[in-house]
Structure 1
Amino acid sequence: MTQLKKQEKSVLVGIDDIKISDDIRAFASEYQILIGNEFDISLLMAGMPADIAEVQNDHAISFLLRSNRIQL
């Protein structure tokens, strides 16, 4: 990420069919750190409404409640 930042590159992470798991919690924790360190990284998640709601309401990754959402 540091090399990408030096090159003024952005990163987009896409996760399809999102479901809550320990891996998603670990990723979200790392994502928050990267955002806090001002890396240019964006997250795009897609999934069934109930699965997305479960992820958004997880206490370990509550920052998602403040994120922009687009419902299709």
Structure 2
Amino acid sequence: MLFKVYYQENVAEAPVRENTEVLYLEASAVFEVRRKLKEKPYNIEFIQAVDGAYYEYEKQSENFKVLEN
């Protein structure tokens, strides 16, 4: 399953909406997404499953790139 992860790059700073980044990651569940990103210095805000019509919409974005782990 594909997940969309909203995160801040600096875990030491308070989250600011304008600094939110997005990445896409293949995993079987949310806990696996968190496990795969554990070594990254990311402040994860939200993890959302992407499927169906939402997946079709997201893959049209120029920023759509699935992170390879």
Higher-Rg structure is: 1
The higher relative CO (CA closer than 8 Å, separation ≥ 6) is in: 2
TM category, shorter? 0.3 to 0.5
**Greater percentage in helix:** 1
TM-score (norm: length of structure 2): 0.32
TM-score (norm: length of structure 1): 0.31
**Greater percentage in strand:** 2
